[in-house]
Chain A
Amino acid sequence: MAKFILRRLLYSIPTVFGITIASFSLVHMAPGDPVQLLVFGAGGLDPDEIARLRSQLGLDQPILIQYLNWLSKLMRFDLGTSFFANQPVSLMVFQRMGNTLQLTIVSLTLSLLVGIPLGIVAALNAGSVWDHVSRLIAVLGSAIPQFWLGILCILVFSLWLRVLPAGSMYTLSTGGTDVIDRLKHLILPAVVLSTTSIAIFSRFIRAETLEVLHQDYIRTANAKGLSTKVVVTRHVAKNALIPIITLLGGSLERLFGGAVVIETIFSWPGMGRMGFDAAMQRDYPVLMGLIVISSILVVVGYLIADIAYAWVDPRIKHS
């Protein structure tokens, strides 16, 4: 097992490298230039001022040199400095990561708690009303755009019913120390954020469960005279849930990456919004920093998923 992990980690080094090369070139090839944006903001600049800004931002070097400079800094765990905020990227990430994790972890938990039972119930009662209700929820969850649902929720729960706050992480006057207040602020963004994943999880689990239900060992279990409850919990659910590990492995990156739309609508100071703004302004260091972190998380996420697979499913052996 240790050998497997080591090998996988070694394999992932070129992957991450490849991603940095590809994304560095893509980010720099995208039309738009942060210096031109500064020129526009300043109301025009002399050419020698522009040249100075370029060299201060390191943009006067050939792209290959720029990449190598960036890479050598990365090796020393230095993600560089934001062009526009003039702050270390690592600090900017650190300031927002906790906020994003609060939101995404709660929303992922919610998606699992709702999505899994919904999928299993739908599969066990395929074709019944329950199945249709579950399908309806899944269709709504994936069809309704989150920005719209978010605004609707603010309208209904904050403006009309006045039961929940219209965004941000806590009431400013509480200073963020009141747990109940924080939970109230979490409800709307977490629920809205989980709608899509509830839809995905429930459909996924339904399909898996249906497949397991047709397996020989389920027939055997039923034939042995085991109660439905035991068959479902011990044989069906256990096997149907294994593939969800893959889904979870892929979610690791999303946990940290945040959610642009939800963060924007609910004024949530997280990573998604920071990444979006950086992309809009071509803030290369911030953008590259986020890409590196995300790609490492994707690699690690799937590695953990593979290990977890071997652990829960004795049929799989890594060597």
Chain B
Amino acid sequence: MRILELRHRERVLSAATALLVSLLLLVPILAACQSRQPDVRQKGSEPVKGGTVVYGAAADAKSLNPILISDANSRTVSNLIFEGLVATDAKTGAPKPMLAESWSVSDEGLRYTFKIRDGVKWHDGTPVTSEDARFTYETILDPKTKTVRRSLYDQVKSFSTPDKNTLVVELKGSFCPFLITGMSMPIVPKHILEKSTDINTDDFNSNAPVGTGPFIFNEWVKDDHITLTANENYWGGPPNIDAFIYKVVKDVNVIAAQLKTGDLDAGEFTSQPQLVSEMKSTQELNVYDFPALEYTSLGYNMARPFLQDTRVRQALTMALDRDKMLSTILDKQGEPMLSHIPMTSWAYDPDLPRFPYDPSQAAQLLEKAGYKKSSDGLLRDKDGNQIKLTLYTSSGNKVREGVATVAREQFKEIGIDLTVQLEQFTALVDRMNKSKDFDMVVIGWSLGADPDSKSVWHSSQRGDGGLNVINYVNPEVDKLLDEGRTLPGCDQGSRKEIYSKFQKILAEDQPYNFLFAPRILYGVSSRLQGVNPSPWSGMFWNLNEWYSDTGK
């Protein structure tokens, strides 16, 4: 009897525990549901000096030496310390003068002459000369340097420095992206690094970077924070704020919480668009959003017989409701993409073939291609073989996982049995680049300021090191890509025509369902003014112009 009683009490207790646990689990969900109406705020007028901006980043930087960097986080910090001869214009995405006050290009486009700004100094007070620029590029080309940027200077025949303010670059052949990709590389000081015994592991990279930018390196506590202070002698005038702190926070929910508590002044939450309304309703925060230079795509492996037929790919694209994806997955924080060139680019052509959501037309197209839904609701080819496909994407990326889930549901409607496989990103990259064993892949692509995208679409880029992961082969696209890259004189109008054709072919061919480009989302403390994010230059390109209402 006593034992029975105990058992009973145990059961009641464990049930009560379970209830309590589940109630507790509800608390954050309920909290997340709260929202207030966004309010309108007015901007402050006169910039005030002083104040610190603490930015919550999802990952630490790895190196601050611009020539060794291969990840976006490192670049965010490094770009505040270092500058290139040329920069990307925040509004247009075109090249604009930075450390070079001007440049000229010879008629055939093979000789670039840069005039370096007078009076620019490294953070240690040494004047910047053309020798520094030359040293930077030559160090990148040095086989001992562990960099992935060497290919930017593939076409360079020689660098020369006729005087301390002039740099001349001779190219072997015309290479149109050169100005914006090669010459926007931030330069490093020769007088410090020429003494280095091993540039790859030099203390300069992580503990003593010296640049020309508006902010000076102060300290880096690894995995915790990097502190930069204002460069009072900056050639473009001293920044308004005193310091910028790059704080590693990692978890986006914690970034959101710390933005609300005021521990952070700025933080990105692009990966969690559902936070928008909550952020907008927080009095102390402003939300900034701008189109990303990246998009999420669903790629079709063109080495697979079923996916080789253009009609099939068009049908598959029409079977997916992109608008619904945008609203359910991205909370409407994004725009549909039609091809590989961003809407903000000068090369963008809005007049492209479109394949809107239309399952019945998709079924018709599939029938024309020889595939029919049989009585059991499954799509079969002429011989009655069922169509089964496998889609891979990276685990942990909620947007891509969301796309995969919707795709599985909606492909089922046209009779396709889709298996979704989630793989850790590194393993997925290996699959896409090496084994190529997949039917479909949901992956993000980042885009550059120049429309050149040979590495993704040229048929020569299907092998090791290329990013044509889906085996796309189209001789016409190959020709256009080569032309657009090497057009003598690099006239923008003529290049635009070339890339217009390129976009039309891609949009018609549908090697990818180009899905959508997300909007980049930032929460920024409302005491900060002068914030002016750009799709081309990101959030912090004009950090030196930011100021704090309160001077704190």
A residues neighboring B (CB under 8 Å): 30-34, 36-47, 49-50, 52-53, 56, 81, 84-88, 92, 95-96, 99, 127, 132, 135-136, 139-140, 143-144, 148, 151-152, 154-155, 158-159, 162, 165-169, 172, 264-267, 269-270, 273-274, 277, 280-282
In the complex, what residue of chain A is closest to B227 when comparing beta carbons? A172
Cα separation A87 to B198 with both chains bound (whole Å): 12
Residues from chain A with Cβ under 8 Å of B431 in the complex: 31
Beyond the given A36-B434, A37-B429, A166-B258, could you list 19 further A-B residue pairs with CB under 8 A, ordered by the A residue number? Answer: A31-B426, A33-B429, A36-B430, A38-B70, A41-B70, A43-B467, A45-B465, A85-B62, A140-B17, A143-B21, A148-B28, A151-B28, A155-B27, A155-B257, A166-B263, A168-B247, A168-B263, A267-B250, A269-B222
B223, A96: Cβ atoms closer than 8 Å: yes
Separation of A88 and B456 alpha carbons in the complex (Å): 34
Q: How far is the CA of A220 from the CA of B257 in the complex (A)?
A: 59
Task: Select from chain B the residue with minimum beta-carbon distance to A270.
Answer: B223
Would you call B257 and A166 a contact (CB within 8 A)?
yes
**Any chain A CB within 8 A of the CB of B173?**
no
Instruction: Say yes or no: B465 contacts A44, CB within 8 Å.
Output: yes
| Most B Cβ at <10 Å: residue of A143, A155, A167, A169 | A167
Q: Report which B residues bind A (CB closer than 8 A).
A: 6, 9, 13-14, 17, 20-21, 24-25, 27-28, 31, 54, 59, 62-63, 68, 70-71, 143, 146, 148-151, 154, 200-201, 205-206, 221-225, 227, 245, 247-251, 253-254, 257-258, 260-261, 263, 423-427, 429-431, 433-434, 446, 448, 454-456, 461, 463-467
* Nearest CB in chain A: distance from B339 CB, A: 18
**Residue from B6, B62, B154 in contact with A84 in the complex, judged by beta carbons closer than 8 Å:** B62
Q: With A87-B201, A158-B257, A167-B258 known to touch, is A47 a contact of B222 (CB < 8 Å)?
A: no
Nearest CB of chain A from residue B4's CB, rounded to whole Å: 13
Q: Closest chain B residue to A139 by CB distance?
A: B17
CB distance from A242 to the nearest CB of B (A): 29
**Measured CA separation A295–B465 after assembly (Å):** 36
**Cβ–Cβ contact B68 & A86, under 8 A:** yes
17 A-B pairs with CB atoms under 8 Å apart are A34-B426, A37-B426, A38-B148, A84-B70, A85-B63, A86-B200, A87-B206, A140-B20, A140-B21, A148-B25, A158-B261, A159-B260, A162-B261, A166-B254, A168-B263, A267-B224, A282-B426
B residues less than 8 Å from A50 (CB atoms)? 464-465
Residue of B nearest to A57 (CB): B146
- C-alpha spacing A274/B394, complex, angstroms: 21
A45 touches B201 (CB 8 A): no
Residues of A within 8 A of B448 (CB): 43
Q: Are B248 and A86 in touch, CB under 8 angstroms?
A: no
Q: Report which of B148, B221, B227 forms a contact with A49, defined as CB distance below 8 A.
A: B148
Q: In the complex, what residues of A have CB within 8 A of residue B465's CB? A: 39, 44-47, 49-50
With most chain B CB atoms within 10 A of its CB, the pick from A34, A45, A281, A282 is A45
Tell me which residues across on chain A come within 8 A of B31, comparing CB atoms.
155
Do A47 and B464 have beta carbons less than 8 Å apart?
yes
